[in-house]
Amino acid sequence: MMMQDLDQDFLDSCLLFGELPDDLSEYLNEDNLDTDVLLGDPWFNSVDELDYYNDVTVATDVSNPANNDPQHQSAPTEKTKSRRKRQRAPQSQLNTTAKRQRAPAAARPKTKKSQAEPEAAPDSHAEPIPAKAVREISTSPPGILYRLITLPDTPTYQVVQLSPPATAAPPVFRLPLPHTATPPTYIIVPAAPPPRRLQMPPLSPVDGAVAPVQMSSSPPGSLSDTASKAMSPPCASPLSPSTETSPCKESPPPPQSPADHPQAVKDYIQEAKAHVSQTCQYMEPGLSLDAHYVDVRLSPREILCSGKNTNKCLDKELVIMGDTDRQSSMLGHAQVFEGSSGEKSKRYILLLGNAGMGKTSLIKKLCLDWSRDHVPQFDFVFLLDGKKLSVTEPAYSLQTLLLQLSSIAPPCVDPEVVYAQILADPKRTLIIFDGFSELRDYETLLQAQDKDLVSSLQRDSKAQSFTVRQLYSAVLQRVLLSGCTLLLSTRPRGTATQLLRRADCFLEVCGFTPKNIETYVSQFFSDPALSSAAQDRLHRSSYLHLLCWNPGLCRLICLLLEHHKQSELPGSLTGLCHQVLSLIVETDSRRTHSDTETGVIVASDSSQVKRGHRNRSRSQVHSSAPTQRVRRTRNRERQVDKVDEDMKSVGGDTESTVDRQLLSQLSALAWEGVKANTSVLPTGRAASARLQAFGLRTGLLLSHHLRTRILVSEGEEEGGERTHRSEDESILLWASPFLQSYMAALHLSLSRSLSDRAFLLTLPFQSGAKGRRRPQREELELTQRLAIGLLFHSRTELQSLHSYTDVVFRDMLSSKQALVTKHLEGLCYAELSPSQLLEACHYVYEAGFTQNQSSRDAVHLMTHLAENLPEFLTLRGVPLSPPDVFTVQKALERGGAEGRSFCLDLEDSGIQICGLRALVGLSNINTYRACIADVITLWEQLEQSAEEELLQGAVSKFKIHPLKATQVFHVQHLQKLVSMHVHKRITDSSSESILAEGVPAVHELHKLEFELGPDRGPLALPQLWDLLPGLQNLQHVDLENSKIGDTGAEKLAAALVSLCLLEVLNLSQNCIGDCGVQKLVTTLKDLPRLHCLSLYSNVISDEGAESLAAVLPHMAALTDLDVKYNKLTDVGAQSLASSLRSCKKMKTLRMWNQCMPYGVFERLQQQDGRILWH
């Protein structure tokens, strides 16, 4: 029968909830519903009575699309909140079954109506649903959960009740709600019970045995997967602050696909993509991404395991791969967010790259690809600029940060719905941080925040009471939107303790390859003839071609090639920046002069028109004396023309003087920016309106939109409403980091306001602890390099950059040149670090090659550098770019002219194969070290090109002794080199003439240190066992803390048979037990030169000690044995002490550990003084 009415008492009790919406499922929790009263009802708590309703069937519910719309799911009003609490029923009315244990409220499934009920298409003519076709209400034990389902008031649905009991109230009821014509019908049905976790009983000892300590502690890896899962049920990870569900709840429903989003969200996504396609289509003014972007490759970087150092510099912690490995692991921009095979997708990505390498262009390309549906894993992309940190007002929320302050976010019509979707599925949101010049900016944002602030952010992220810095910090620390993907761009220098801990992916933007340079130049010059001519000129200038490795410098070089088609190209970075700045100033002056001429001509024409009109009027009235009027008019015109010429000449000089003054002011501001490590121009009196206009007009500065402020006027309009208007707030930035550094160098070298003492303090390599401790930043090094180059630049070309007299300018340059020369000559190059040595080579190169005819002082500096470079020149650990290699090559060539020869160490430098070939081919290079894989690649290239002489020198000069393997690929490369040594061939098809006696470097390898640690060491052990027999001249093998175990000890014993020259073997901390020692001693006794053996901190017991004691008398060369901190007892110690009496050459025996009674050890030590405890 149809249920239309309800008992009035029951209805009155239900109305105590307040004004209920159509769907009450979201309010069924402990806060909004009194479960004691609900479960106290006889119908809910009587199992016997509930069994009568097994035959009751109810109609299914059609999912209402309007109810799923976030706009219709409004929050409860204050009135509703105040009515949530109601009077409880008397205790006598509660059923005794209500006191039973109930499921916690947190375990209630949050299912929507559309998920709880199957969908059915509404049909007004549909027949009533038969009882047998309708889902039944299942019985539930006391305390089980219930769901509240709304039945639509349509003829399609009927509620049929079969065999109702006379004592229980029906489970179907109606509630009259405000603003509704018909009271909705509700039905309460039991929900599916939560899954139960079955736990195995704990394992108990048998026969009263006591469990050993190992079982109680359960070290990692000691239990099998099955046992560990049985003994300890899986624990959920702790909740992040923004996690929506609790681990004790059921798993949340799968995230919605884009097709399931509300229409407002779909519309916003399409608007955002259209907006991004417009804002991100240009790399810079005049250069579109589609026409000029070159897809640079990305190199994955790994982090070194450097212990517990709390002050980690990112450039020191990154593993520098060789060119061969780097080329094989390159990624395209489309693979940034893709994880490797079998790995999870990356969620915290750090994008690294020096100034001008194209990080911002790459980010724009990624955003443009997203707008074209090429990045389908994200529905929302937001670009947050680091320069917006200057906004300090606490007037923002996470919603306004993403939807208003994002650089690529369009105006949002319905921000509430869009923001709700972002919070509902943060994994489909990408947040990009750009505009941070150094790692220090991120590190400050990653510092721990105040607890009250974190609680406030988590409680209400929509409250507009936070600063941009606080919101940035919350997003970076995963306080807000913990599931989103973060992409952070920065330069690789500086301390990065927090980033190293948080980031799960490090990608570095690689520079242009020669092929990329050719592509960029051809795209820059649309005319094929101009492109070919530009490339020919570029190839003839070796240094400029190498500078094109940096995309930012490649852009400046192409600009120079476009305008200076016949002039000679510069040979240094200083010359390049000087010509580009001169070109910018000349272009601006020419444009300004043209505009001035146009304005004068227009004014003259207009005055002539007026005069002609006036004369014609007068001639119509007064026709007397026409010849005299014409004569006076011509004389007046001649006078005006003469004044105009005088004004033009004076105005030209005045304009040139003004430009010089403005350049001087800009250079001072550039130096302040370099010192502050910022590209933002300061506001206020320092930057006048005229100076800003000059910078924008010349292109030295760019206007960057910061935010749009909404201003409310105090007055009111006729309608009584306040007027609103928006105001764009912008800041000025330097357009190019290279031009900013060059302008700062102009201030250092050509400004009289900087005294000699102050100038001396700006020079590199300052003495003293403070100077050595202070890290050198990239922009400061570049400024110092350019300042030294300017001091030795052509004075004639510098005339346009200053307004001093010739005498003053000459004296100022001479004074500063003398200071620089004295400073560089006073350096002790042997005490400089590898990075400082490289910078010294750059300084001297800029001083000597800035102009074609080097000055006497510049030549003297180059000679002094060549004479004082250390013979063993190491650049280990310093990333070498192509321009770096070129300057080192020039310094080494100058040293060869002075009769000097060098030994180069280029390991961990990432030098390219072409640069390695250039340095190895120098005649004054005696030996060199480099990445083994790169050296093998170079040999293969030289063999393929049939350059036998260069190949012979490259093979004979290569050295690898001593070799320290810190990465897995080091062992892999060594394995390939040893294979070449054994087979005596570079490739399978090569002859044996070059390697007839093997690889000299392998012959001369005497010491091998295996320092991969216990985590990565086992990964490389199989390659190590294969290559060791080929290293027959090894004298020192260090395998400490490699976790080789007994199995590895057996493999090592088989490999040691070939190492007859071995003298030192370190096997400390390797988990070697008695079985491993028994395998080793059979080989160790046959090594005639082994004099030092360390088995420190293993798991050797008395049995293994007896095996050692048996072979000690046969090890004639052994002098030092270390078995400290093993499992020896007094029995094993006695065995070793007894065997020691027969070893006359033994000097020390260290065997103390905690398992040995100290009295026994003291007595043995008294009997033989060679027994030591440390």
Which whole number is the average pLDDT over 204-213? 34
- State yes or no: pLDDT of 460 exceeds 90: no
Separation CA 1049–CA 1079 (nearest Å): 7
What's the distance, CA 118 to chain centroid?
Answer: 46
CB atoms within 10 A of CB 814: 12
Separation CA 541–CA 754 (nearest Å): 35
Q: Where residue 654 falls among pLDDT bands split at 50, 70, 90?
A: low
- State yes or no: pLDDT of 117 exceeds 60: no
3-state helix, strand, coil in the chain (%, to 5): 50, 10, 40
Say which residues have a Cβ less than 8 Å from residue 673's Cβ, sequence separation at least 6: 679, 680, 681, 682, 734, 740, 744
pTM: 0.73
Which whole number is the average pLDDT over 774-803? 83
- State yes or no: pLDDT of 107 exceeds 80: no
User: Higher confidence at residue 60 or residue 190?
Assistant: 190
382 burial (CB, 10 Å; 0-12 / 13-18 / 19+) is: buried
Kindly give the pairing relationship between strand 963-965 and strand 925-929.
unpaired
Which whole number is the average pLDDT over 244-271? 68
Matching residue, tokens 């059921």 = 250
Determine which of 143-152, 440-449, 694-703 has the lowest per-residue pLDDT on average: 143-152
Q: How far apart are the first and last CA of the chain?
A: 94
CA distances from 208 to 204, 211, 227, 230 (A): 9, 9, 21, 22
1131 burial (CB, 10 Å; 0-12 / 13-18 / 19+) is: middle
Report the CATH number at residue 347.
3.40.50.300
Q: Indicate whether 118 belongs to any domain.
A: yes
User: Higher confidence at residue 1136 or residue 79?
Assistant: 1136
Both tokens assigned to 331: 């990624």
Q: Return the bridge partners of 1094, or none.
A: 1066, 1122
Q: Which of 1094, 1160, 1110, 1099 is nearest to 1131 (CA)?
A: 1160
Q: Indicate whether 390 belongs to any domain.
A: yes
Statement to judge: residues 279 and 358 lie in one domain: yes
User: Higher confidence at residue 880 or residue 107?
Assistant: 880
Answer for the pair 1155, 1127: CB distance below 8 angstroms, yes or no.
yes
Statement to judge: residues 34 and 152 lie in one domain: yes
Q: Which of 27, 16, 190 is nearest to 103 (CA)?
A: 190
- State yes or no: pLDDT of 142 exceeds 80: no
Separation CA 376–CA 1077 (nearest Å): 57
Give the single-character DSSP code of 40. H
User: Higher confidence at residue 1150 or residue 317?
Assistant: 1150
Statement to judge: residues 79 and 168 lie in one domain: yes
The answer to whether the Cα torsion of 1063, 1068, 1071, 1073 is positive or negative is: positive
pLDDT in tens, 163-182: 444 444 445 555 555 555 55
Give the single-character DSSP code of 96. G
pLDDT in tens, 832-859: 999 999 999 999 999 988 665 556 778 8
Question: What one-character-per-residue DSSP string does 990-1050 give?
Answer: S-SSTTTT--HHHHT--EEEE--HHHHHHHHHHHHHHHGGG-TT--EEE-TT---HHHHHH
What are phi and psi for residue 692, nearest 5 degrees? -65, -40
| Residue 928, helix vs strand vs coil | strand
43 burial (CB, 10 Å; 0-12 / 13-18 / 19+) is: middle
User: Higher confidence at residue 482 or residue 18?
Assistant: 482
Statement to judge: residues 262 and 154 lie in one domain: no
Amino acid, res. 717:
E
> What is the model's pLDDT at position 611?
38
Answer for the pair 931, 975: CB distance below 8 angstroms, yes or no.
no
User: Higher confidence at residue 907 or residue 704?
Assistant: 907
Give the single-character DSSP code of 394. S
Q: Which of 301, 430, 270, 274 is nearest to 366 (CA)?
A: 430
Q: Indicate whether 1159 belongs to any domain.
A: no
Answer for the pair 908, 932: CB distance below 8 angstroms, yes or no.
no
- State yes or no: pLDDT of 1070 exceeds 50: yes
Please report which residue ranges of 189-262 form alpha helices under DSSP H.
213-217, 225-231
Statement to judge: residues 180 and 278 lie in one domain: no
- State yes or no: pLDDT of 750 exceeds 80: yes
Statement to judge: residues 265 and 171 lie in one domain: no
Statement to judge: residues 90 and 172 lie in one domain: yes
Statement to judge: residues 495 and 390 lie in one domain: yes
Amino acid, res. 775:
P
What is the percent of the chain where pLDDT is above 70?
68
- State yes or no: pLDDT of 865 exceeds 50: yes
Q: Return the bridge partners of 303, or none.
A: 318
Domain boundary among 810, 843, 868: 868
- State yes or no: pLDDT of 877 exceeds 80: yes
Q: Indicate whether 873 belongs to any domain.
A: no
> What is the model's pLDDT at position 727?
74
Separation CA 376–CA 1046 (nearest Å): 50
Q: Indicate whether 838 belongs to any domain.
A: yes
Give the single-character DSSP code of 19. S
Answer for the pair 1151, 1102: CB distance below 8 angstroms, yes or no.
no
Both tokens assigned to 1091: 């004099």
Statement to judge: residues 147 and 290 lie in one domain: no
Statement to judge: residues 36 and 134 lie in one domain: yes
Which whole number is the average pLDDT over 209-214? 34
Answer for the pair 134, 57: CB distance below 8 angstroms, yes or no.
yes
Separation CA 635–CA 664 (nearest Å): 44
Matching residue, tokens 């052990």 = 1021
Task: Please give the mean pLDDT across all residues of the chain.
Answer: 76
Q: Which of 141, 144, 151, 92 is nearest to 120 (CA)?
A: 151
Q: Packing angle between helix 913-920 and helix 882-897, nearest 10 degrees?
A: 0
> What is the model's pLDDT at position 728?
78
Both tokens assigned to 869: 């470079």
Q: Indicate whether 1130 belongs to any domain.
A: no
Please report which residue ranges of 198-262 form alpha helices under DSSP H.
213-217, 225-231
Statement to judge: residues 665 and 808 lie in one domain: yes
Separation CA 252–CA 426 (nearest Å): 14
Domain boundary among 474, 490, 510: 510
Kindly give the pairing relationship between strand 485-490 and strand 348-352.
parallel
Q: Indicate whether 1155 belongs to any domain.
A: no
> What is the model's pLDDT at position 884?
96
Q: Which of 218, 196, 59, 209 is nearest to 129 (CA)?
A: 59
Separation CA 1094–CA 511 (nearest Å): 47
Both tokens assigned to 640: 């005006």
| Residue 143, helix vs strand vs coil | coil
Matching residue, tokens 């609790």 = 246
Answer for the pair 708, 714: CB distance below 8 angstroms, yes or no.
no
User: Higher confidence at residue 574 or residue 631?
Assistant: 574
Give the single-character DSSP code of 717. -
Q: Indicate whether 751 belongs to any domain.
A: yes
Q: Where residue 339 falls among pLDDT bands split at 50, 70, 90?
A: low
Separation CA 704–CA 722 (nearest Å): 30
pLDDT in tens, 908-954: 999 999 999 999 999 999 999 999 999 999 999 999 999 999 999 99
Statement to judge: residues 164 and 74 lie in one domain: yes
Please report which residue ranges of 243-296 form alpha helices under DSSP H.
263-279, 289-292
Q: Where residue 312 falls among pLDDT bands split at 50, 70, 90?
A: low
- State yes or no: pLDDT of 640 exceeds 60: no
Q: Which letter, b or e, does each residue of 915-953 get, where b requires 16 or more Cβ atoms within 10 Å of its Cβ?
A: bbbbbbebeebeebbbbbbbbbbbbeebbeeeeeeebeb
| Residue 872, helix vs strand vs coil | strand
Q: Which domain holds residue 831?
A: 655-709+726-868
Kindly give the pairing relationship between strand 722-734 and strand 701-716.
antiparallel
Which whole number is the average pLDDT over 589-613? 52
Which whole number is the average pLDDT over 785-813? 85
pLDDT in tens, 988-1015: 777 767 888 899 999 999 999 999 999 8
H-helix or E-strand spanning residue 1120 = strand 1120-1122
Kindly give the pairing relationship between strand 505-509 and strand 298-301.
antiparallel
CA distances from 492 to 354, 439, 883 (A): 7, 7, 18
Q: Number of folded domains in the chain? A: 3
- State yes or no: pLDDT of 489 exceeds 70: yes
Both tokens assigned to 917: 């070939």
> What is the model's pLDDT at position 438?
75
- Dihedral angle at the C-alpha atoms of 1139, 1144, 1147, 1153, nearest 10 degrees? 10
What is the percent of the chain where pLDDT is above 90?
47
Domain boundary among 162, 190, 218: 190
User: Higher confidence at residue 349 or residue 53?
Assistant: 349
Both tokens assigned to 1049: 């000890």
Separation CA 147–CA 152 (nearest Å): 16
Answer for the pair 22, 111: CB distance below 8 angstroms, yes or no.
no
